[in-house]
Amino acid sequence: MLVPETARSGEDSRSHQGRPHILVGVTSAQTCVVLHARVKALRDAGFRVSVLSSPGKQLDQLARKEQVAVFSVPMERGISPLRDVVALVRIWRLIRWLRPDIVEFSTPKAGLLGILAARFCGIRERIYVLKGLRLETARGFRRRLLGWAERIAAGSAHRVVCNSPSLRERALAMRMGPASKVILLGKGSSNGVDLARFAPGASDVRKQLGIEHGAPVIGFSGRLTADKGLPELLEAFAMVLRDIPDAYLLLVGWFDAAEDSLQCRIRSRIEGHPRIICTGFVDDTAAYYRVMDVMVLPSWREGFPNAVLEAAASGVPVIATRCTGSCDAVIPEVTGLLVPVGRPEAICDAVLNLMSNPDRRRGMSAAARAWVAENYADRKVLRLAVDFYVNLSREGTAPALHPAGKKLTEAVTGLAASL
């Protein structure tokens, strides 16, 4: 049996049989950083919660802090057929042992493998939380393969919960399910924002990082990858320095070894630039937003970027692209600015526009925090999620499997049973 060597537990996952049991799964342990509030809200509502991801310290930290059972199954974020089958079988065995009432899987690989494994085990409620579409930046056969995988995951799920309005529109256009199945809770977001933690105020980060007092700071928060628009941001920053030579670019994030990782020359350019500061992975980003004059997120694709909401709650105007997800996270000309995808000159113009107009930045700062407080306070967002799962636990119904999912189920179940 898989479980003894892969479980880390703050609570016996099969105890307290009177409480509905939900298994939350993601691909990477790093994603567990954003699961704490969601897990706590579900626990406080009376659910038994277990968490599954690839091994990592963030998974173990989640177990210790939130006192939940956690399970590690190695999963490749990229396409790896043999390892994916092995991971599928392991997840299948785990779910067969746990027998949760509800499963919630998100991120592409965990979404596909976890929802399929739950279907094989006959789990009553299968929820695929769609937090973005990696296929949007893929091409050729890989794009078709990713599209097929998304449709299989969605077709095998009971509900597809989208992270933003534009992502739901995209999912419906891809025919991932009918409008009754592909849904949006409230106005989007998975966790919302802790308004007390992310708020305007003093910060000693400027001193820690050696940024001169009064020097303009252009910020970024997230994975340092190509799909996040880092190449365009670097080009834009080079243009900005012609007009604002004392500006800094503060990159709050890490070089992610994903399929969209940065080329070596771009990474070297970041590491060797005297006006660019790269923090690496940061557990708590709140203090870093407070030193930013503006934040830029030049992504090519998103689900609903937490970083934009966190910056807005911190009173920082945001410049984002008009890609899926990001376009929902900024009210143009009110809380920030939207620019076309892949246009360094447009990013530069937007930065210069805001940096040259302190009054406009202050107005956007106040509007941004008020907008997040009204729509995306964590208590409000998490209450919607909890209510959704409470209703599911009462309904206890699941629709028939999508034809494409049914065919794959028949094929893979036979293989899994033989391993």
Taking CA 362 as the corner, what is the angle to CA 358 and CA 364, rounded to the nearest 5 degrees? 115
Task: Dump the DSSP string for 130-156.
Answer: E---GGGG--HHHHHHHHHHHHHHHHT
Q: What is the pLDDT of residue 11?
A: 54
Q: Is the pLDDT of residue 370 over 80?
A: yes
Distance, CA of 82 to CA of 255 (rounded, Å): 27
The architecture that CATH gives domain 205-375 is 3-Layer(aba) Sandwich (3.40)
Measured CA to CA in angstroms, residue 134 lies from 169, 172, 259, 309, 312 at distances of 15, 16, 10, 21, 25
Question: pLDDT tens-digit profile of 175-202?
Answer: 999 999 999 999 999 899 999 999 999 9
Task: Report the alpha-carbon distance of residue 23 to residue 115 in Å, rounded.
Answer: 11
What CA–CA distance (Å, rounded) separates 159 from 48?
20
DSSP H helix total and E strand total for the chain: 16, 14
- The closest of 46, 56, 67 to 26, measured between CA atoms, is 56
Is the confidence at residue 174, as pLDDT, over 60? yes
**pLDDT, averaged across the chain:** 90
Strands 7-9 and 69-72: antiparallel
Distance CA 63, CA 349 (A): 45
pLDDT, tens digit, 9 for 90 and up, residues 387-398: 999 998 887 544
pLDDT at 218 over 70: yes
CATH architecture of the domain with range 3-191+378-418: 3-Layer(aba) Sandwich (3.40)
From CA 303, how far away is CA 298, in angstroms rounded?
Answer: 14
- Cα separation, 131 vs 212, in Å, equals 38
Q: Give the global pTM.
A: 0.87
Burial class of residue 313 (count of CB atoms within 10 Å of its CB; 0-12, 13-18, 19+): buried
Average pLDDT over residues 152-171: 96
The average pLDDT across 6-18 equals: 53
402 pLDDT higher than 50: no
The model's pLDDT over 92-115, given as tens digits with 9 standing for 90+, comes to: 999 999 999 999 999 889 999 999
Q: What percent of the chain lies above the pLDDT cut of 90?
A: 82
Q: What is residue 2's predicted lDDT score, i.e. its pLDDT?
A: 41
Domain with CATH 3.40.50.2000 in the chain: 3-191+378-418, 205-375
What is each CA distance from 39 to 66, 229, 282, 377, in whole angstroms? Answer: 7, 31, 21, 16
pLDDT tens readout for residues 42-54: 999 999 999 999 9
Q: How far is the C-alpha of 159 from the C-alpha of 157, rounded, in Å?
A: 5
Of 90-94, 140-144, 299-303, the one with minimum mean pLDDT is: 140-144
DSSP state of 259: T
* Model confidence at 28: pLDDT above 80: yes
Mean pLDDT of the 233-250 span:
98
Question: What pLDDT, on a 0 to 100 scale, did the predictor assign at position 124?
Answer: 86
